[in-house]
């Protein structure tokens, strides 16, 4: 009897999934190994039947209120979205946009909600709008996450909007205005890595816009851009025994104004940290070297920490949008 009991316990233990240590982070930030960007994924995510697919949160060159949101049907059947809602979208007290009854997205199709019809003098669009709702007001910063709910109040999808993970505006009315697009495989809409900026050369085509100008986006159509224009590579390395350095590269780096970095590590002297910042300007590469794992006096006498272990680097890129990169040695 004891043998049978021990065998049953052993089988039970083996049946329990073993959770190992992973370097993936389940946050909005990005985890970088070497020069490649990756994000934490726990199993295969379930794709919602409808996703928030594209957001023109900055308006257009015609009007800063020329904002719109595109929904995408991920299924092979029509989806009735009548009486669904999107939160954190409007200028009303509740900031909830209500989709009227009897509204349907065709199979694998799109549904465009905008402040103005294409015939309006306030619109730069050259495409028919599925639902005109002139109460849309998306804040350029601190908007809050967009939440799509069905008629029963169940969350269908969300889009990160506390800080916009993609999209671009140079801050002027006539300058570049580029939409925030969802990746082809949508992923979690609250993750930075699920979005990219519309940068394809056809994104400002007259298929979508009145003129080929500084407005970029693919309203009512498949997203064209595959890569994130803000993608930045991070290389973190050691320099001898007592110092480290890092290098940021990529065409998207010039979209940011500043990089603030924090390095933390364990040592025999306890947990240590150092911070600093770099002005990026229009550079496509910045490098910081000789960051000492210790302290130096004004006279140039340095004392290095011993037993250094688990050196981590986090960089916050700030500008029109914010991006967080992290890696470790």
Cα torsion angle, 289, 28, 37, 320, sign? negative
Q: CA-CA distance, 111 to 37, in Å (whole number)? A: 31
- The DSSP bridge partners found for residue 156 are none
Instruction: Give the pLDDT of residue 201.
Output: 81
> Can you tell me the distance from the alpha carbon of 94 to that of 181, in angstroms, rounded to the nearest whole number?
26
Q: Which residue from 67, 140, 131 is spatially nearest to 320, judged by alpha carbons?
A: 140
Distant-in-sequence contacts of 203-209, Cβ < 8 A, 24+ apart:
203/178, 203/179, 206/126, 207/126, 207/127, 208/125, 208/126, 208/127, 209/124, 209/125, 209/126
Dig out the tokens for 156 from the structure.
């269908």
pTM of the shown model: 0.60
Compute the distance between CA of residue 285 and CA of residue 35 in angstroms, rounded to an integer: 13
**Contact call for residues 180 and 57 (beta carbons, < 8 A):** yes
How far is residue 29 from each of residues 24, 149, 229, 306, 316, measured CA to CA in Å?
10, 25, 16, 30, 9
Cα gap 217→177, rounded to integer Å: 9
Q: What is the rounded CA–CA span in Å between residue 252 and residue 250? A: 5
pLDDT of res. 227:
53
Query: For the sheet containing 233-238, what is the strand order?
Result: 233-238, 243-249, 285-292
- The full set of domains in the chain, from first to last, is 1-41+232-329 (2.60.40.2420), 44-228 (2.60.40.1260)
List the chain pLDDT tens, one digit each, 329 residues.
444 444 343 333 334 343 333 333 333 344 444 433 333 333 344 678 999 999 999 999 999 999 999 999 999 999 999 999 999 999 888 899 999 999 999 999 999 999 999 999 999 999 999 999 999 999 999 999 999 999 999 999 999 999 999 999 988 899 999 999 998 888 899 998 889 999 888 899 999 999 999 999 999 999 987 655 556 789 999 998 899 999 999 867 877 889 999 999 999 999 999 999 999 988 889 999 999 999 888 888 889 999 999 999 999 888 766 677 888 88
Euclidean distance between CA atoms 158 and 136, whole angstroms: 17
Give pLDDT, residue 103.
97
């Amino acid at each position: 009897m004891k043998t049978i009991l021990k065998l049953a316990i052993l089988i039970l233990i083996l049946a329990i999934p073993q959770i190992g240590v992973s370097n993936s982070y389940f946050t909005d930030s990005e985890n970088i190994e070497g020069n490649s960007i990756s994000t934490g994924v726990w199993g295969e995510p379930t794709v919602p039947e409808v996703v928030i697919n594209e957001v023109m949160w900055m308006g257009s060159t015609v009007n800063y209120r020329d904002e719109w949101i595109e929904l995408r049907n991920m299924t092979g059947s029509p989806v009735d979205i009548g009486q669904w809602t999107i939160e954190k979208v409007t200028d009303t007290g509740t900031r909830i946009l209500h989709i009227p009854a009897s509204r349907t997205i065709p199979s694998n199709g799109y549904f465009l909600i905008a402040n103005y019809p294409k015939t309006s003098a306030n619109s730069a669009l050259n495409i028919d709008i599925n639902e005109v709702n002139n109460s849309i007001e998306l804040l350029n910063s601190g908007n809050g996450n967009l939440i799509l709910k069905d008629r029963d109040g169940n969350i269908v999808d969300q889009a990160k909007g506390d800080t916009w993970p993609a999209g671009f505006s140079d801050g002027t009315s006539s300058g570049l205005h580029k939409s925030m697009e969802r990746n082809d495989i949508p992923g979690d809409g609250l993750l930075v890595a699920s979005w990219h900026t519309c940068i394809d050369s056809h994104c400002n085509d007259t298929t979508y816009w009145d003129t080929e100008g500084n407005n970029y986006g693919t309203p009512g159509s498949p997203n064209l851009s595959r890569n994130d224009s803000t993608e930045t590579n991070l290389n973190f390395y050691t320099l001898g025994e007592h110092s480290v350095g890092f290098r940021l590269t990529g065409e998207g780096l010039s979209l940011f104004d500043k990089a603030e970095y924090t390095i933390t590590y364990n040592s025999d002297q306890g947990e240590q940290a150092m911070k600093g910042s770099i002005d990026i300007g229009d550079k496509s590469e910045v490098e910081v070297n000789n960051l000492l794992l210790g302290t130096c006096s004004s006279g140039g006498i340095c004392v290095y920490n011993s037993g250094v272990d688990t050196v981590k680097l986090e960089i916050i890129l700030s500008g029109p949008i914010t991006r967080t990169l992290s890696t470790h040695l």
